[in-house]
């Protein structure tokens, strides 16, 4: 069984950072596409204020030059759903459960275990970013299929519009 939860726009970076892992090939391709945007272009792309666009531009640049601080993904994101998940003072059993069953779906990192290192980023699957000429959905499809191929039961705590990113043949497992 896997429980999939999306990233959130609200983030908490007021916590200890952890060692980053190298970006996987698919993530690097997404980052390369994002890195072509200027701060003013990001303002339009994300439909945010100039201040938020500058902040996201800085996030992209630190990822690009490998100086971004990374945090356990489950603790980094601070949206409404995350605030209702126990994330602090986890027992070993709780950490093991998270490691084995909870995955975070990220348009930048793919499907990753909940406590994986992640740098702050705003990208979500509904953004119209092209990666090597493909939509985010097309770009990530095989990686998502592979991550979930052996699962008997999948709980998706994402908006219904994101369901197509996952296995078509697994409809009966949702």
pLDDT(54) > 70: yes
Ordered by start, the domain boundaries in the chain are 2-166
Which pLDDT band, with edges at 50, 70 and 90, does 53 fall under?
very high
Q: Which residues is 4 bridged to in the sheet? A: 103, 156
Three-state DSSP at 148 gives helix
pTM of the model: 0.86
CA distance 149 to 141: 12
CA distance 162 to 19: 30
pLDDT digits 0-9 by tens, 134-149: 999 889 988 888 888 8
pLDDT(157) > 80: no
* pLDDT value for 163: 61
Which pLDDT band, with edges at 50, 70 and 90, does 172 fall under?
very low
């Amino acid at each position: 069984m896997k429980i999939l939860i999306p990233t959130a726009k609200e983030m908490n970076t007021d916590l200890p950072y952890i060692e980053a892992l190298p970006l996987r090939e698919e993530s690097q391709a997404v980052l390369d596409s994002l890195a072509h945007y200027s701060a003013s272009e990001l303002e339009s792309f994300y439909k945010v204020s100039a201040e938020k666009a500058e902040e996201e531009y800085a996030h992209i640049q630190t990822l690009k030059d490998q100086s971004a601080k990374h945090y356990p993904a489950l603790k980094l994101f601070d949206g409404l759903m995350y605030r209702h998940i126990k994330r602090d003072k986890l027992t070993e059993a709780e950490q093991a459960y998270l490691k084995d069953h909870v995955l975070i779906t990220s348009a930048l990192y793919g499907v990753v275990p909940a406590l994986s290192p992640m740098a702050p980023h705003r990208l979500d699957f509904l953004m119209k970013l092209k990666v090597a000429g493909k939509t985010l959905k097309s770009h990530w499809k095989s990686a998502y299929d592979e991550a979930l191929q052996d699962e008997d039961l999948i709980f998706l705590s994402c908006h219904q519009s994101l369901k197509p990113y996952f296995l078509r043949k697994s409809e009966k497992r949702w």
